[in-house]
């Protein structure tokens, strides 16, 4: 492989996409399950998978932000990180005169 940086950008972007999709799935399942979401096995799985992202966001955000809003902030930050990684990939491809899709 002649461009490992391109691979790293692609892998990072894919990981961010997966984290965003799990946060979105957790939110949608939380809406559908309602009050019974704490007993839902899939919701618990989503909580386990999205836990590291939410905990990292809790450490970054000030204490003024309530815990209920942290997943929304995490999703927004992941979305902008996803956009930034796409921009970096495009910039890398333009700089090295590659035809990236």
> What residue numbers bound the domain in which 12 lies?
4-96
Tokens 């461009």, residue? 3
Give the global pTM.
Answer: 0.90
- 101 within a domain of the structure (yes/no): no
Q: Domains in the chain: how many in total?
A: 1
| pLDDT-derived band at 55, boundaries 50, 70, 90 | very high
Mean of pLDDT values over 51-71: 95
- 53 within a domain of the structure (yes/no): yes
**Close Cβ partners of 29 (under 8 Å, ≥ 6 residues apart):** 37, 40, 42, 43, 46
Mean of pLDDT values over 35-47: 92
- pLDDT, tens digit, for every residue of 74-92? 999 999 999 999 999 999 9
């Amino acid at each position: 492989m002649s461009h490992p940086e391109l691979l790293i950008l692609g892998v990072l972007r894919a990981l961010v996409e997966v984290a965003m999709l799990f946060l979105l799935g957790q939110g949608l399942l939380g809406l559908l399950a309602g009050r019974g979401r704490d007993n839902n096995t899939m919701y618990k799985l989503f909580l386990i998978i999205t836990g590291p992202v939410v905990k990292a966001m809790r450490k970054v955000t000030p204490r003024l932000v309530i815990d209920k809003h942290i997943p929304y902030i995490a999703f927004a930050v992941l979305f902008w990180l996803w956009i930034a990684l796409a921009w970096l990939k495009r910039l890398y491809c333009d700089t090295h005169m590659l035809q990236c899709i």
